[in-house]
């Protein structure tokens, strides 16, 4: 049996006003909460925001707005692909087609990362070397790594 209760009329108004208001306090006032001072209005807004049912209603509104405004991965891929498969290629700038191809490749993880991650704690052992010596050791490590990949 569900123990969740419905929102009161004022709570529902608050939920509706909050996305449009500049603050929760303003939303509480517009929702009809009687507040003799700004401090009282802030307190009522805070109390209303902490209500679990109000939080659920706000999350629902946020999820609905997000799902309607943000393109899915599939939609983005279709849009980028449309640049590559343009019916009239003369209407698509070469730069746009290349950018679309690049973005699609990134979305599919088709690029190989060439960065080297070095997590080194600089302690007394490394502090004894000059910057030039450390650079030489790094270059030697890179050379050995490349030599191992060539085998």
Number of domains in the chain: 2
Please answer whether residues 11 and 24 qualify as being in contact, where contact means their C-beta atoms are separated by less than 8 angstroms: no
Residue 122 maps to a domain: no
Sign of the four-CA dihedral 72, 76, 81, 83: positive
Residue 129 maps to a domain: no
Residues 41 and 89 in one domain: no
Q: What is the predicted pLDDT for the residue at 123?
A: 63
Residue 136 maps to a domain: no
d(CA 88, CA 3): 59
Phi, psi at 108, each rounded to 5°: -95, 5
d(CA 126, CA 131): 10
Per-10-residue mean pLDDT of the chain, 151 residues long, equals: 68 91 90 87 91 92 74 76 73 77 77 64 72 88 80 55
Q: Quick one: which of 76, 124, 71 has its CA closest to 103? A: 76
Residue 132 maps to a domain: no
Q: What is the pTM of this model?
A: 0.44
Residues 103 and 58 in one domain: no
Q: What is the predicted pLDDT for the residue at 89?
A: 67
Residues 54 and 93 in one domain: no
d(CA 130, CA 120): 16
Residues 83 and 46 in one domain: no
Please answer whether residues 14 and 27 qualify as being in contact, where contact means their C-beta atoms are separated by less than 8 angstroms: yes
Quote the domain boundaries for residue 47.
9-69
HSE-up of residue 125 (Cα within 13 Å, Cβ side):
2
What residues have CB less than 8 Å from 61, skipping those under 6 apart? 15, 19
């Amino acid at each position: 049996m569900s123990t969740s209760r419905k929102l009161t009329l004022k709570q529902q108004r608050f939920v509706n006003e909050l996305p449009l208001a500049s603050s929760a306090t303003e939303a509480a006032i517009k929702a009809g909460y009687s507040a003799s001072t700004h401090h009282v209005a802030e307190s009522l807004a805070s109390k209303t925001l902490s209500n679990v049912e109000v939080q659920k209603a706000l999350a629902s509104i946020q999820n609905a707005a997000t799902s309607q405004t943000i393109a899915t991965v599939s939609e983005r891929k279709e849009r980028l692909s449309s640049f590559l498969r343009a019916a009239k290629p003369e209407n698509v700038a070469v730069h746009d087609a290349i950018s679309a191809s690049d973005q699609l490749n990134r979305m599919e993880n088709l690029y190989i990362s060439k960065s080297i991650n070095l997590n080194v704690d600089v302690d007394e052992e490394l502090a004894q070397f000059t910057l030039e010596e450390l650079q030489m050791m790094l270059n030697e490590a890179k050379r050995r790594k490349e030599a191992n990949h060539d085998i």
